[in-house]
Amino acid sequence: METTYNFHGYEIPIDLMVMTGGGPDTLESISDAHINGLKRYVGLAAGQSALEIGCGIGRDAIPLIDILGPSGSYLGVDITRPSIEWCQQHITAKHKNFTFHHFDVKDQFYNKSGKLLTRDCTLPAQDESIDLVILQSVFTHMFPDDIKHYLKEFRRVLKKGGLIFATVFLYSDEILASARQPNRIPSNLRFEHETTEGFRINDLLWPTGAVALTEKFFDGLLEDSGLFKVRALKGFWSGFYSDPDPYMGQDALILSK
């Protein structure tokens, strides 16, 4: 059985690939969708400085090498140490402007032995040094206090006019009713457990496995962050929208300062 998968010339360990949220059969399609979404909604250009939270095994970092070019920079952060070590050994070794940092945050699934809380972590980037912050399926695994912490950190590191692209699960009563219809979608995201008004979890046994919030609730988290919402984008995860972005399973929020 193959233990690695060739992706843009990199032999990626399949076990680490799966931890990022997809195997050999989906890695390229997910990466293509992510990159196309970024190009469409926030723009990608040579020379930009990008920060990605939840970079995993480099699924999006690797195609960004050619897009950002040698004049750009990329910083990837993740809580899965083996993934970060692989990226350092194989990506940074070839491209010094692409760096990776491990946050030893305790997580029920991805880092059980972690010693830190998310709010203990300071992003390893200078003030007002980042053009674009990327979070693909990160806020979908975080509780409100951790989201607020990251928003304040993004405010610190983001350049004036810089952008944040963060995927989320946004819900209303109508959206939840659609998601809960039998055989409507394969994801089984029902979000039946409300922990506070406007915030829900999908599985009581794995609370951070998937979380959802209302747009109003997220707006409340933004109030003290120094950031503002540019727009919200519709994903197809719930089956509710007749015109979702065909490349986006989750919804997304674009923020700026």
**Per-residue pLDDT tens digits for 107-121:** 888 888 989 999 999
Residue in 108, 97, 100 with CA at minimum distance from that of residue 52: 100
Query: Contact 20/41 with Cβ under 8 angstroms?
Result: no
Query: What integer pLDDT is reported at residue 240 of this predicted model?
Result: 94
Instruction: Pick the range with the lowest mean pLDDT from 111-120, 125-134, 227-236.
Output: 111-120
CATH code for the domain in which residue 62 is found? 3.40.50.150
Residue 22 has pLDDT above 90, yes or no: no
Q: How many CB atoms lie within 10 A of CB 216?
A: 11
Residue in 131, 148, 167, 135 with CA at minimum distance from that of residue 60: 135
Query: What integer pLDDT is reported at residue 110 of this predicted model?
Result: 86
Query: What integer pLDDT is reported at residue 247 of this predicted model?
Result: 83
Residue 51 has pLDDT above 90, yes or no: yes
> Between residues 19 and 77, which one has the greater pLDDT?
77
Query: Contact 4/86 with Cβ under 8 angstroms?
Result: no
Query: What integer pLDDT is reported at residue 184 of this predicted model?
Result: 64
- Summarised one tens digit per residue, pLDDT across range 139-174 is 999 999 999 999 999 999 999 999 999 999 999 999
Q: How many domains does the chain have?
A: 1
Distances in Å between the Cα of 94 and the Cα atoms of 9, 38, 62, 99, 238 are 12, 24, 11, 11, 41
Query: What integer pLDDT is reported at residue 182 of this predicted model?
Result: 81
- Summarised one tens digit per residue, pLDDT across range 166-202 is 999 999 999 999 999 986 666 789 999 999 999 999 9
- Summarised one tens digit per residue, pLDDT across range 27-50 is 999 999 999 999 999 999 999 999
Query: What integer pLDDT is reported at residue 186 of this predicted model?
Result: 62
Q: Which residues of 223-240 are buried (b: 16+ CB within 10 A; e: fewer)?
A: eebebeeeeebbbbbbbb
Query: What integer pLDDT is reported at residue 66 of this predicted model?
Result: 98
